[in-house]
Every structure is written in C-alpha cells, then in structure tokens.
Chains A and B, each alone.
Chain A
Amino acid sequence: MLTKRIIPCLDIKNGRTVKGINFLDLQDAGDPVELAEFYAQNGADELVFLDISATEERRKTLAQLVEHVAERVNIPFTVGGGISSVADVDVLLHSGADKVSINSSAVKRPELINELSAKFGSQCVVVAIDAKQVDGQWKVHLVGGKVPTELDLFEWAKEAEERGAGEILFTSMNNDGTKNGFANDALAKLSKELTIPVIASGGAGNMQHFLDTFTEGFADAALAASVFHYKEIAISDLKKYLSDKGVLMRI
C-alpha cells in the first residue's frame, strides 16, 4: 500500500540553511547537504528546499547546491523559490532535482504549468499555494503570503490540476507558525475535489497534528520545518507514532 509521506522543508539563503540550529550531531548545521543527509537517514520520505535568497547570483548558487544534494542524498527532493520559467526548471532538473515547486509565477502566468508539464512531465511539477481564510473565504496570497489576490483556493487548485500540476502543496497562512495544527477542513475539501496528491503545510506543532492531517485532512503528505529543525519532533519517533495509530508509514 502507498504510504503517507513526511517531508521536512529546508529554507535556503545564499546556499545555506536558514533554520536548523539545534543539531548537535551535525558538523555544520548551516550546510544544507549535511542537514539533508541527516533527514534522509532518519526516515524523511522526501525533502523540500525553498530558496529565499534574492541576489543576482541566486540561480547559479541554487543549481550548485542541487547538484551537491543529488550526489549525496538517496531520497527524492523538490526545489522551490523564485522559479518562473521553463529555462529555470531545466537547469534545476538537470542538476538533479526530482521536482520543482512554483507558486507566485504560476498565478501570474498559469500557462507556465502547462509548459512545464508538457516538457518535463506532471510528476515533477508541484504547484505551491499559500492561502488565507478571510470572512470564510480561502483566498490565494502571493510573495510568501504577503500579497492577497481575489483567487479562490479551491478554484485555483482545480485549475492547476487541469493545467498539469502533479501535486498541490497547500500552506495555510492562518495556521503557519501557530503550531496549532494543519488546516484540515480546507485540506479535506482539496483532497476530495482533486485527483492529484495534496501536501499539507503550515501549523505542525506536535505529533497529534500530523495524525489529524492524515485522518481528518486526508492529506497525502505533511510538510513541516521548525518542529524538525529545532528537534521538537524526531522524524523516526513521529513515523513510529503514526504507524502505531494505524497510518501507513515507511519505517
């Protein structure tokens, strides 16, 4: 049977990890490759690298990083952040990324999803959506959640699927950073309306939250950053907990 996936997210700035300070086992907690290897060895099912640097050199630095990760890490990984063209994706996939995630660039120019899935296949196109619930309506936000749009989360997710997205990575701005759990109502609706896998993001604070997002939110995968980086939850403990609760896990 297909398992649910646990995905740590690493924020990258100028080729270095931004979070991830409390790892006593690591020589250099700022080295994304070492952190990625650590997670892979401890049971992570996939990894996501989100590049938040804004320098001119960012594309080159990111491609080099992707190649170093691909050389050493034996699980799949997705790269996102500032990707806006077929050429950007070509470089990243050829450097060894398994998938890319696109966000604001897809909202600004939805045809990008069609272009990427036609050229590289749907399996490597993750459409990331940041959304916030305002007056009962889930509205898509851009630029890391800072800029609101009139787009409805569910309509946009459906359009992304129809245009060829292989997965949806949904981050709830209401939940992100709260450590109060994932946005399971919205996730359940997404999962029901879409035929492609949905990755839950935003709000993980404890192990119960992961259980809830799989059983109530029907998420196919759950992504988190700080609970893993600050060692509040060890991935191996989390997967054993979920498995004991009846969620299919790769252990």
Chain B
Amino acid sequence: MNIAIIDYGAGNIKNVQFAVKRLGYEAVLTNNEDFIRTADKVIFPGVGEASSAMNKLLDTGLDKVIPTLTQPVLGICLGMQLMCKHTEEGNTKGLGIFDVEVFKFKGEEKVPQIGWNQIEALEGALFKAIKEKEFMYLVHSYYAPLCKETIAKTFYGDWYSTALHKNNFYGVQFHPEKSSTAGEAILNNFLKI
C-alpha cells in the first residue's frame, strides 16, 4: 500500500509517519503531486497557524490537488480545519471540502484546549470497534461546530465536531498518532478503508 503524508512544511508531521510505521506500514512524506494522486491513502496533517499553512498550500499548488483527490484522505488537526470552508484563524479561506466554518473557542474554558477528551456519537468505518466516549488527545484553539458532515462530537464548553466525513474525505480534530492504542486503531481503520 502506498501511503502519502502531505509535507507542506506545517509543523511536526514525522509523528504521523512514526505512528503509521508502528502499524506496520511505510508512509512517504511528500509534496509531489503525482505521488499524492496515485497513493492508495493520503494523510493531510498540520500543526501551527492556519493562514501561514494555507499560504504554503497555495505556494505549492496543493490547494488545487487536495480537493480533487479520489482515494481516502484523512485530515488531522489543522489539516481538518483547512479542509473546511473558512477559519476564523487569520481570517483564512479553506479548501471548502467540508461545508462548515471554523471558529475560535469563546467561553469560560481555557484556550487552547490541551489534553484528553472524549469522542461520542461515532459513525462509520473510521470508528469501527472504537468504543463510545473513547479518549483522544487534542490541542487546539479553533473548532468546527456540529454539522451534517459530523461523524464524532466532543464537549468543551459546548458540543463541536471532532470528526467530519464527506465522500472520500475524512477529518479528525484529535491526534490519532498521539492518542495511545485507541488512536492507532483509528489510524489503522483509515488505512483499511
């Protein structure tokens, strides 16, 4: 299986590669369009600030590539947020794959949310054999509200989307590569879609 991890210079993405390796697969860090288009699975990670990450996608032309991919694609954390229509962070236009906008947490809770929180109302193949209220590791200040594409939700001051799904595209707000054995199981589910 060819697994591409999109490398566009947005933060630490080696951990995703390491996690895939722990599952027994080799993944390639790449920004090469041909490799990405022909890969069996594509992972779109991202850590950092939205507008500068989006600029890197624009510079490399990956903003045109990602939305037209046809194989299973998994966006992680900022990757998921950039797959949405728009994010409040840096007032950034997203790739528009998911029909939802991303907002900053406003309320009594501490921001960023850092730590382990529960995912609920799990739907679909990504969460096969994952138990309701499983704990995932999250680090973020911005969130996608609940919408018709929500396949997992989490409570932090209010309910929001911790996973989205549309056609061949999946997005998770949590870090499966850092969420112990349950996170690795979700990553493994994705690789088996």
Contacts and interface: CB of A to CB of B under 8 A. Distances in A.
B18 A71 contact: yes
A60 interface: no
Given A75-B137, A96-B12, A120-B11, A1 B114 contact: no
A201 B109 CA distance: 22
Nearest to B12: A93
Nearest to B139: A123
Chain B contact patch, size range: 35 or more
Given A74-B22, A123-B139, A2 B12 contact: no
B111 A196 contact: yes
B115 A2 contact: yes
A194 B112 CA distance: 12
Contacts of A5: 115-116
A6 B116 CA distance: 11
A226 interface: no
Main secondary structure of the interface of B (DSSP, over half): mixed
A166 B114 contact: yes
Given A70-B14, A71-B18, A123 B184 contact: no
A3 B135 contact: yes
Interface stretch (B36-44, B94-102, B165-173, B175-183): B175-183
Contacts of B141: 122-123
B181 to A, nearest CB: 7
B180 A3 contact: no
Nearest to B10: A121
B117 interface: yes
Given A2-B115, A71-B21, 9 more contacts: A70-B18, A74-B178, A74-B181, A76-B175, A93-B12, A95-B14, A195-B110, A197-B114, A250-B135
Interface of A: 1-5, 40, 45, 70-72, 74-76, 93-98, 118, 120-124, 166-167, 194-197, 220-221, 250
